[in-house]
Homo-oligomer: A and B are copies of this chain.
Amino acid sequence: MRCEVVAVGTELLLGQIVDTNSSWIGERLARAGIDCNYQTKVGDNHARIVECIRLALQRNDAVIVCGGLGPTQDDITRDAIAEVMGVELVRHDHLIERIRAIFGSRGRDMVDSNLRQADVPVGARAMDHQPGTAPGLVCPVGEPGADGRSSKVIYAVPGVPYEMEELVDLEVIPDLQLRAGEPAAIVSRTLRTWGLSESGLAELLASRFDLLAEHANPTLAFLASGMEGIKVRLTAKAPTEREALALIEAEEAEVRAVLGTYVFGVDDDTMEAAVGALLEDRGLTLAVAESMTGGLVASRMVDVPGSSRWFKGGIVSYQSDVKFDLLEVPAGPVVSEAAAKAMADGVRRLLGADVGLAITGVAGPAEQDGQPVGTVWLGIAIGETVEAVHLRMPGDRKRIRQFGTIQLGDLARKRLLELTNED
């Protein structure tokens, strides 16, 4: 069962709105084991919407058209579908009543333009669920088969995300699964890594890749994702979710055996979550002193659920005098080994934490104290050790901050991994 998503709206093409709906639908289709090989965006233009739906029907069993079901003149998805089906639109009284009732429940009167939302192509039906004023549509296309179902189908759902989500989950996916007959599931898992380049990962995993290319199930893919690390995605397809999961788990074990501690997390686990888990396991608390990153490291620590158990807080020592006066950094250049060490030790002392982390560097645009852009010093104070690490990073201001943030987390992770629970 193959299903294409067609997102309708000129604002999507102009970049005024990012089309998150297609991604959301893609994730839901994958989870249901339905292949989604294409997603298309098209503007509010009758001929081009018709063309996109026709093409999508040619190369798929089903199409989900998202958007263009509103009450205004530029909402023309209904008309385009009617043309593809070769039928007229007919106004349904029960839909008018339903729409009127929705307005009533919001304490408002329905205006005439909303009548258009009660139009349905002949042979199609409105979906039973209706979270907003726009009914979703199920539109059969082609001759019915032995099971009485049409050979292909167009679904139309509104572009308002919460309305779309409800209709896809409650109407579209179940109908697609019924049509699919043979149920199938696609399961993905992402291993997050740090410390190797994308090509370095590919080389280490070359044997897995070669092996997997023959089967093509599970598949492996890499994705560099800034301060979220470099992701290794495993995707498996099987008749049931359980079998797909079993395939994933076997492959994950193989990949982990190769990558070892380069893997810091799974799926949505951030580097900061990995650090937090190690701290909690070892009964330690953390404080962070930041210059170049200006609070980015602390805010990501706070984003970890349960971080109040191990994260004390931080100091953003952006101007040099805050470093000298508050953190007792010795006089001298503030992008230096001495400054990074003093910051890590100072914030630990000041906030009463067990572990202190620090980052100071030149994020640009200009060099500082004769140090080039991209020069970064990380500091860590843990037990008796106060240590600093020097880095040179490529990229612009934003990128240097992001890489500094994940590098600092990775330094903490490595040092915490070296501590046994007995320490």
With a cutoff of 8 Å between Cβ atoms, the chain B residues found around residue A11 in the complex are 221, 223, 233
Interface string of A92-129 (1 = CB under 8 A from B): 00000000001001111011111000000000000000
A312-359 residues with Cβ-Cβ distance < 8 A to B are 312-319, 321-322, 325-326, 350-352
Chain A residues packing against B (C-beta within 8 Å): 10-20, 22-28, 30, 36-45, 48, 52, 55, 70-74, 102, 105-108, 110-114, 133, 160, 162, 186, 188, 190, 197-203, 209, 213, 219-224, 233, 235, 285, 288, 290, 293-299, 301-303, 305, 307-308, 311-319, 321-322, 325-326, 350-352, 365, 392-396, 398-399
With a cutoff of 8 Å between Cβ atoms, the chain B residues found around residue A190 in the complex are 16
- A313, B318: Cβ atoms closer than 8 Å: yes
Residue of A41, A190, A325, A399 with highest tally of chain B CB at under 10 A: A41
With a cutoff of 8 Å between Cβ atoms, the chain B residues found around residue A395 in the complex are 162
Q: Which of B25, B38, B200 contacts A42 (CB 8 A)?
A: B38
- A221, B74: Cβ atoms closer than 8 Å: yes
Residue of A11, A107, A235, A394 with highest tally of chain B CB at under 10 A: A11
Minimum CB–CB distance from A129 to chain B (whole Å) comes to 14
With a cutoff of 8 Å between Cβ atoms, the chain B residues found around residue A312 in the complex are 318-319, 321-322
Minimum CB–CB distance from A218 to chain B (whole Å) comes to 12
Q: Which of B112, B201, B302, B319 contacts A318 (CB 8 A)?
A: B302
Minimum CB–CB distance from A203 to chain B (whole Å) comes to 5
- Report Cα–Cα, A201/B30, bound state, in Å: 38
Residue of A22, A111, A221, A398 with highest tally of chain B CB at under 10 A: A221
- A26, B38: Cβ atoms closer than 8 Å: no
Nearest residue (CB) in B for A222 is B72
Q: How many copies does the complex hold?
A: 2
Minimum CB–CB distance from A117 to chain B (whole Å) comes to 9
Q: Which of B30, B39, B71, B294 contacts A40 (CB 8 A)?
A: B39
- A38, B40: Cβ atoms closer than 8 Å: yes
13 A-B residue pairs with Cβ-Cβ distance under 8 Å, sorted by A, are A11-B233, A13-B37, A13-B39, A14-B30, A16-B221, A18-B23, A72-B199, A72-B202, A133-B199, A162-B395, A288-B316, A290-B295, A313-B316
Nearest residue (CB) in B for A197 is B108
- A308, B318: Cβ atoms closer than 8 Å: yes
Q: Which of B112, B197, B290 contacts A203 (CB 8 A)?
A: B112
With a cutoff of 8 Å between Cβ atoms, the chain B residues found around residue A70 in the complex are 198-199, 222, 224
Given contacts A18-B20, A288-B316, A315-B316, 15 further A-B contacts (CB under 8 A): A11-B223, A15-B23, A15-B25, A37-B42, A40-B40, A71-B199, A102-B394, A111-B199, A162-B395, A162-B399, A294-B303, A295-B298, A302-B318, A313-B317, A326-B350
With a cutoff of 8 Å between Cβ atoms, the chain B residues found around residue A20 in the complex are 18
- Report Cα–Cα, A305/B294, bound state, in Å: 13
- A23, B30: Cβ atoms closer than 8 Å: no
- B40, A48: Cβ atoms closer than 8 Å: no
- A37, B27: Cβ atoms closer than 8 Å: no
Nearest residue (CB) in B for A71 is B199
With a cutoff of 8 Å between Cβ atoms, the chain B residues found around residue A28 in the complex are 15
Nearest residue (CB) in B for A391 is B107
- B199, A114: Cβ atoms closer than 8 Å: yes
Residue of A52, A114, A307 with highest tally of chain B CB at under 10 A: A114
- Report Cα–Cα, A280/B144, bound state, in Å: 66
| Top 9 A-B residue pairs of the complex, sorted by shortest distance between their CB atoms | A294-B302, A15-B27, A295-B295, A295-B298, A295-B299, A15-B26, A314-B316, A15-B23, A313-B318
- Report Cα–Cα, A321/B285, bound state, in Å: 13
